[in-house]
C-alpha cells in the first residue's frame, strides 16, 4: 500500500484541507448575552451595514447585515425565542455575499418568528462559495433564543430586520458570535 510518505507536498495539502474543514464545521457552545429583551446574532461574522431596506417587512424597516467569511463558524441560531410562523426558500443567484444586492438577488431562506415582543424576520443568504443553505425547524415549531437552526456552507450572509423602535447595539465592522452577541434591544413595553 503506497502512502503519502513519499509525497510530503500532497500530505501537507491534504492536512491543511482537513484542518480547514474541521475549523469551518466547528459548532461551539454559546450563551446568549442580555435578557429576553435582547435579540442575539443569528450568525458569526462582521456587521456590513445597518440601514433601511426596500424589502423590509412591515414594522422592521432596518436591515442588519452580517457577512460570514470562510473563517467564521457557519452554524446559524435563533435570534429570539418564539414560534416559527413562516419559512420560505427563494431560488436565486450565488453572487458575492458582501454585495448589497445579495439580499434581494441571491438564493436564500426567509424566516419569521413570532415572539412575545413582536415578529422578527431574518434571512440565510448564499454567497459565491456557498453551495447549500440548511434550515432544520418546521413552521409551527417553537424555537429558543440561541438554538441551532441551520447552517450555510462556506462564505455567506445573514440579514436580520430590526423591529422598529428597537435599539441597535452594534454597528458596521463589529464582530459577532451567533447565539451569543446581543445585537438589538426590544423597545420598552414591547
Identify the burial level of 6 via C-beta atoms within 10 angstroms of its C-beta, where 0-12 means exposed, 13-18 middle and 19 or more buried. exposed
The answer to whether residue 41 is catalytic is no
Cell numbers at 152, concatenated: 450555510
Q: Are 150 and 76 within 8 A, CB to CB?
A: yes
Q: Identify the CA nearest to 106 among candidates 71, 65, 142.
A: 65
Q: Which residue of the set 65, 117, 119, 156 is catalytic? A: 156
Strand order in the sheet with 148-152: 75-77, 148-152, 133-135
Active site residues per annotation: 156
Amino acid at each position: 500500500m503506497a502512502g503519502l510518505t513519499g509525497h510530503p507536498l500532497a500530505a501537507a495539502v491534504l492536512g491543511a484541507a482537513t484542518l480547514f474543514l474541521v475549523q469551518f464545521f466547528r459548532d461551539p457552545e454559546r450563551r446568549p448575552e442580555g435578557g429576553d429583551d435582547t435579540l442575539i446574532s443569528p450568525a458569526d461574522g462582521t456587521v456590513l451595514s445597518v440601514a433601511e431596506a426596500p424589502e423590509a417587512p412591515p414594522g422592521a424597516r432596518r436591515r442588519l447585515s452580517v457577512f460570514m467569511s470562510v473563517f467564521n463558524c457557519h452554524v446559524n441560531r435563533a435570534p429570539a425565542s418564539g414560534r416559527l410562523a413562516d419559512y420560505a426558500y427563494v431560488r436565486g443567484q450565488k453572487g458575492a455575499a458582501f454585495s448589497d444586492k445579495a439580499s434581494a438577488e441571491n438564493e436564500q431562506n426567509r424566516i419569521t418568528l413570532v415572539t412575545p415582543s413582536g415578529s422578527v424576520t431574518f434571512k440565510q443568504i448564499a454567497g459565491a462559495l456557498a453551495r447549500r443553505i440548511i434550515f432544520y425547524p418546521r413552521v409551527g415549531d417553537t424555537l429558543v433564543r440561541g438554538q441551532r437552526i441551520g447552517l450555510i456552507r462556506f462564505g455567506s450572509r445573514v440579514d436580520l430586520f430590526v423591529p422598529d423602535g428597537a435599539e441597535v447595539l452594534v454597528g458596521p465592522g463589529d464582530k459577532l458570535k451567533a447565539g451569543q452577541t446581543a445585537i438589538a434591544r426590544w423597545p420598552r413595553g414591547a
